[in-house]
Structure 1
């Protein structure tokens, strides 16, 4: 079970997070805060895995608060203002909950956090997530954390990897999409799937990933933003 805190200047909003956290059974909500300076002091003395953090607060924005943390846990931003979504995304937020959010939407965000924490867990006994594809007459194991992007080339997919040669496998893009965890990979174009945590920035309908500039297809733009806004399920 992961440990979390929640920060929001609205007590009612904190009650909702408390209720949903208890309902999920997957998270221990250690404390809640309406004052950011109290939360900052707590985090200087205690470690947590995850913060539920309101963006629009009177003394300091949630985004500025998170930037000031010396040790940054995973964060799920909560706010009533959708215009903050991209800025929160650029801070590698796990997710972005637009108030008022439902329990199912809360649970979806929590599952993303659990998956990311598992991927980065220091316990070497835990097997890192991977997929297996057939290429060059061999079965090749590809760790998900190494994937930069997946590109469709007619009947093939080209899997671009960090510090490794790309792997060319004969399969349609949809097939490999079904093999990937929906919480961590998103299709941004009819020709591209990307891991969310590798995206450096989004600008002018373009996704930037370590030397790659990828267009966002108009029919996939909504799906990309669903990682940060409370939309209908995909």
Structure 2
């Protein structure tokens, strides 16, 4: 059975990239693309769609506002060039969050996530995709395994980052911006010195995020715009 898809993005190049990815997966059927959410909303009211690829930053109506104000039936995968928007996206129970430029491997992982919700048989492996749930970091001349699911947050001190879990803190030499690129998309930078695991997030305001251990992490001024639609 085919998966009917719609793409909403105001950038023609971004639509083209998703079209190419969709064409490589036989199960996917791209039924329409739109460069604005208003026209797309009218289409979705009249047509059944399974999966929606939705850009966040668009003029007039943002992707976040579109989700909040439209009775959307399909599962939603958000797409954006800005990682800091992930936090609000996860609050809206989206299926996945893809950072531009979107690689086919990351795209395919999101499709497998959709398939896992609708069938017990996932799509076959693309040959380039592996489920990675950890990484190794150099700490005190030893390579230490870091399980993503155990990480609460990460902070930086000059050229070092500290990885905080429920049980320990591991220090490794790295730039926080570089370290962020090694993490799954549900890790979000909310401050120039802090990265949080959104799966450990219990609540947030426009000023801070509270994690599952009660730790309050400040939200930097450059990131507050991402939460303006939720916290006034």
Residue in 2 that maps onto 1:180: 180
- 1:216 pairs with 203, 216, 219, which one? 219
Tell me, in whole angstroms, the C-alpha distance in 2 between the residues paired with 1:213 and 1:177: 21
SS of residue paired to 1:171: strand
1:69 Cα shift? 3.5
Contact kept? 1:158, 1:166, Cα under 8 Å: no
Tell me, in whole angstroms, the C-alpha distance in 2 between the residues paired with 1:113 and 1:201: 33
Q: 1:227 to 1:146 in 2, by over 3 A?
A: farther
Q: Give TM-score scaled by structure 1 length.
A: 0.53
Residue in 2 that maps onto 1:81: none
State the Cα RMSD in Å: 4.8
- 1:207 pairs with 202, 206, 209, which one? 209
Tell me, in whole angstroms, the C-alpha distance in 2 between the residues paired with 1:146 and 1:40: 41
Tell me, in whole angstroms, the C-alpha distance in 2 between the residues paired with 1:49 and 1:117: 14
Residue in 1 that maps onto 2:27: none
Residue in 2 that maps onto 1:168: 169
Tell me, in whole angstroms, the C-alpha distance in 2 between the residues paired with 1:17 and 1:144: 33
Residue in 1 that maps onto 2:26: none
Contact kept? 2:50, 2:75, Cα under 8 Å: no
Q: 1:55 to 1:202 in 2, by over 3 A?
A: farther
1:132 Cα shift? 0.7
1:39 Cα shift? 0.8
Q: Give the gaps of 5 or more residues in structure 2.
A: 24-29, 117-121, 228-232
Contact kept? 1:74, 1:113, Cα under 8 Å: no
- 1:26 pairs with 11, 21, 25, which one? 21
Tell me, in whole angstroms, the C-alpha distance in 2 between the residues paired with 1:191 and 1:35: 38
Question: For this pair of structures, how many residues does the alignment match?
Answer: 188
Contact kept? 2:155, 2:162, Cα under 8 Å: yes
Residue in 2 that maps onto 1:64: 68
Q: 1:137 to 1:205 in 2, by over 3 A?
A: same
Q: Give TM-score scaled by structure 2 length.
A: 0.53
